[in-house]
Structure 1
Amino acid sequence: MKKRRAIVRLLPALLLVVGVGGFAAPSSAQNRPAAAVLPVVTTAVGPQYDTTHVYVTPGAMDAFVTCWEATFGGTNTAKVVTDVTPTPSTTVSELVLSPVGTLSVFDFQTPVPYPFGAERTGWLMSDFDKGLRLARASGADVVVAPFDDPIGKDAVVQFPGGVNAQLYWHTKAPSYAPLETVPDNRRYLTRDSARAFLVSYLRFTGGRIVSDDRAADGGRIGMPDETYRRIAIGSPLGNTVVSVTDGHLPYPFGRETAGYAVKDLTSTLHKAEAAGAKVLWGPYTSPARTNVMVQLPGGYVAELHQGDDR
């Protein structure tokens, strides 16, 4: 009898692990949000401080920034020439602040030192050392040890599945206006890596799974008549959309860093194309959302969408 009671007490914890781990759910629960790992204390500051890292082709920074601001609005800082890596390198760097997201734009004048360029996101930490400890405790690897930059500190961490993110801290705390819409950090994972990624990522970000659709419309990622697993995550570090696929992705899917919500997709596309962007795929309409893939000058690929069914 005691053994039976002990098993009953363990069932909620076991169900929690199964919900996050990616095991097959009954068909009646395919579109229900999966259980999320209980969040730890995060050192997140806010989504407007979480920058998308954009590495443009040499010489294309001005064209990229002009196109971005003509499409979405916003402002930019003055360009600076600096070294943002722990080894000798030179880049032109610029910060873009817009209603749909914050961008750190880099135009490297020297070859980009490894593993920089693979990180897609920079997250501001209120406490840098604590953020690094939390990353390690969550199961992330520190792939670039902490180093000083001209205005603070940085490190690069890697979550299971090979997902890199840069943690940063400024000597003088920045102050940015809140975003009108929070972009989706878009990640593509294999079925083999999804479970470990979710456990680690949710713990570090303090996030929760908003929806977990195990039979999402494959047309959204260029695979009509197929399905895939689409997981939407919300956290103090912003939104994340994880696509779990077999890796048979048509171009340009997997090349985009982020997805941006707009009120009028047709109008936004007109502005983007007039400013030098080109449509790579779409628009594609599915229930509650129309999305399109565009490429801005400098090679940056982005997903744009109207409507949201997170």
Structure 2
Amino acid sequence: MTTTPAQPTATVRELIRDHYSALTQSERKFAQALLDSYPAAGLASITIVAANAGVSTPTVARMVQKLGFKGYPQFHQALLKELEAKVSGPTQRRANWASEAPATHHLNRFAQAVTQNIEQTFANIDSDRFDRAARDLADTSGRLYVVGGRITRALADYAFTHFQAVRERVTHMTASSATWPHYVLDMAEGDTLLMFDIRRYETNLLRLAELATARGVRVILITDQWVSPIADLARHTFNCWVEIPSAWDSNVSTMMLLEALIAAAQEERWPATRERYERLDELFNATRLFQK
């Protein structure tokens, strides 16, 4: 009895990155064409996408099988589902969960979804990339900029508060994109820009990443499992699983990853950070901000 291969759960973009070293030169040509205009370049028929990429139809067929798909139709369907997930708003996301959620109490379903998100997120983090990102975040030879979007600006504010204690030369970019050119004006090669961008991805954040990378700024992106377009520009990209039984996505796994990066950056600078904490406590005592 033969079994039907399961459709891959990772995004097509992630599968391409995971299997890139195993692709032939012509297959890589198609892969790059797809990534350059993702996912639109793969939404036509196999003959059209092959012609647009300048490769043969068999090349496309072989590559999608290497990625784990039975054939091009399954590959095409996966891209369509990704596109639907990216553009779905709160109402549609709530409808999807309502039809698929098990018949248990909301608290249990919520806890299960969040736990799975955390496990999936941390299972897909490359430890070497994590360590390199932590070193960039701790590197005071350049300035650290932090920015978020409509929802993720709360994460950016949280990150700024902690990194400002961990190290010097930290700038929290305001939520208003109209002021961003003033920050970009002072950006220089060797600076680091920590960005948060989850679906629906914001065009102003992508443009900011383009301007920053053009000036030699290292971009660290924290995004979701569908991957913000900023990933094509980022030095380090971290994917967080965010779906929960709600009209909104969850930031629990995103917050856990952020806190892990903050802790790792702190260790990179210890004992200099310890001295900084001690001086900060002296200032808190002088201002009597906290109760004894």
What interval of TM-score do these two structures reach, taking the shorter chain for normalisation? under 0.3
TM-score by length of 1: 0.26
More helix by share: 2
